[in-house]
Amino acid sequence: MQFEKGELYHIYNRGNNHDRVFYTHENYLYFLRKINTYIKPYADIIAWCLMPNHFHLMVYVNEVSLSNVSLEATLLSGSLKATLLSGSLKTTLLSGSLKATRSINGSKERTLNQSIGIMLRSYTNAIQKQEHRTGALFQEETKAILLRENVKLTPAYFDTAFGSKITVFDDTKSSGQRCFNYIHQNPVVAKLVAMPEDWPYSSYQDYLKIRTGKLIDREKGKVFFEERSGSHEETRLLATDPVAKKANGSKTKSLSGSIHNFEFSLHHEHEQTAHADTFYREVLHVTNIKRFNSDSVIDLEFQRQDVDVLISLNGIDYRVSEKFRDKDYGDMYLEVYSKYPKTPGWLHTGTPNAILYFTPKSVYWITHKSLTSFCFTKLFPLIPENWYLDIFLSHKPFISKQITLNQQSIIVNLIQAHNSLPDGSHWETIGITIAFEVLEQHGVQIKKYANFMSI
């Protein structure tokens, strides 16, 4: 990297082998403090965005080196108020001053290049200790693109888990304007959020005055900032990328992958209830079926309690929760968060007597009381809360984890589905899958009806 005083640059790097570089909320905040300490003495920060496996900075360079290095860095101050889906995350950042004097190769002079290198090495050391890992965290070379008229913007790192590569062109805007918009659109194009202000780890909230962070120079940056209006002008950035354009306009976006296709299941649920009624009559020989699927006050109250149908079997009424899946994976999906992180899922709020788990060739009758007893006394205490945050930040459809239950090693999958509506509301549903065999081994009462019909 070669910097020139008085120029605007786009600085970026990504995880080695496309791996994550930010694992927790605190990792993001720690990296921001590093930027404040190692880059801000040399440059004004115009825009920034931290993504799970890479980062972007847009800076105006004031000094390419500092002699007799006495770096005084005022750490971030103010409050970070980030709305994560339906919940609210409020964090007060550290404030104060840090004085540091370093010798570089025996000389009390440090260039911006060297300071960036020190910043990345310092952060890498912290993550290596945290994650008990070795080796490079970032790619060897940090890139810096000089932002001038008609200079191409660097392509985004969306060639793996984050989607498709894009390159943004707009001849009516300077390269600085394109870069500013591009940086803030990263989380949207990556499908982490629906709108740029929903992502807490970028400077966009600061420009909207949702947050009062001190890292950016608003006076220099306001020339690039475009207040959103009704048509939301910044969506023009997606025009060159058909994949991103399709995602931005879709009514429902699903992150479901090879384990459970939630979108498919929900789409066919109304059709499947008719097959379920046939199962009740022909296999269970129930004498009465009452569904709670209207918008009446009574039916909505049953729905809130995760009760879909009331059936009479051998003179006993059962409140039944129905779950439809397109395949039998030999495991059960347990919804922990209906809307992460504030709204609990049906496993916490449901009041049925039984859960009927429908797959194309089998139906599982699970006694609700035995299931919740196992989950709350044995399973959930083994699932750290940060695992749910990890999958949320990763935006992956699932993550496999290993736990030890009664000296038995068990694989559980954390599943995430992203949902959005035309009105702009969106949320993540997060749950766990665990094998039926494991559930039965630990006291969950399950009865399987095999090959009764094709649902």
Question: How confident is the model over 407-434, as pLDDT tens digits?
Answer: 888 989 999 988 777 677 788 899 999 9
Q: Confirm if 215 and 32 have CB atoms less than 8 A apart.
A: yes
pLDDT at 223: 83
pLDDT at 82: 32
Domain boundary among 227, 249, 271: 249
- Average confidence (pLDDT) over 48-71: 84
198 lies in a domain? yes
- 86 shares its domain with 232: yes
Strands (E) in 238-369, as ranges, are 288-291, 309-313, 316-324, 331-339, 343-344, 354-358, 362-367
Query: Over pLDDT 90: what percentage of the chain?
Result: 37
pLDDT at 175: 76
- 29 shares its domain with 128: yes
* pLDDT of 192 over the 70 cut: yes
pLDDT at 225: 79
- Average confidence (pLDDT) over 226-247: 32
Rounded CA gap, 163 and 50, in Å? 17
- 69 shares its domain with 135: yes
Lowest mean pLDDT among 77-91, 144-158, 269-283: 77-91
Lowest mean pLDDT among 44-53, 152-161, 318-327: 152-161
- Average confidence (pLDDT) over 149-160: 38
Rounded CA gap, 369 and 134, in Å? 45
Sign of the torsion angle spanned by Cα atoms 357, 358, 361, 367: positive
Domain boundary among 249, 279, 312: 249
Report the DSSP beta bridge partners of residue 92. 79
- What are the φ/ψ torsions at residue 427 (nearest 5 degrees)? -165, 160
pLDDT at 197: 86
179 lies in a domain? yes
- What are the φ/ψ torsions at residue 414 (nearest 5 degrees)? -90, 125
- Based on the structure, what is the number of domains in the chain? 2
- What are the φ/ψ torsions at residue 304 (nearest 5 degrees)? -65, -25
- 299 shares its domain with 188: no
- Average confidence (pLDDT) over 360-382: 94
* pLDDT of 83 over the 50 cut: no
pLDDT at 222: 84
Domain boundary among 228, 249, 270: 249
* pLDDT of 327 over the 60 cut: yes
More confident residue, 243 or 109: 109
- 233 shares its domain with 275: no
- 208 shares its domain with 339: no
- What are the φ/ψ torsions at residue 361 (nearest 5 degrees)? -120, -5
19 lies in a domain? yes
Using one digit for the tens of pLDDT, what is the confidence trace for 62-76?
999 887 544 443 333
Q: Confirm if 58 and 182 have CB atoms less than 8 A apart.
A: no
pLDDT classification of 269: cutoffs 50, 70, 90: low
pLDDT classification of 259: cutoffs 50, 70, 90: very low
- 230 shares its domain with 270: no
- Maximal CA-CA distance, the chain: 89
- 243 shares its domain with 354: no
pLDDT at 194: 80
- Looking at every residue in the chain, the average pLDDT score rounds to 76
Lowest mean pLDDT among 155-164, 289-298, 353-362, 417-426: 155-164
Does pTM surpass 0.75?
no
pLDDT at 451: 54
- 38 shares its domain with 178: yes
155 lies in a domain? yes
- Full residue range of the structural domain in which residue 18 is found: 8-249
- 139 shares its domain with 66: yes
CA angle 311, 266, 414 (to 5 degrees): 100
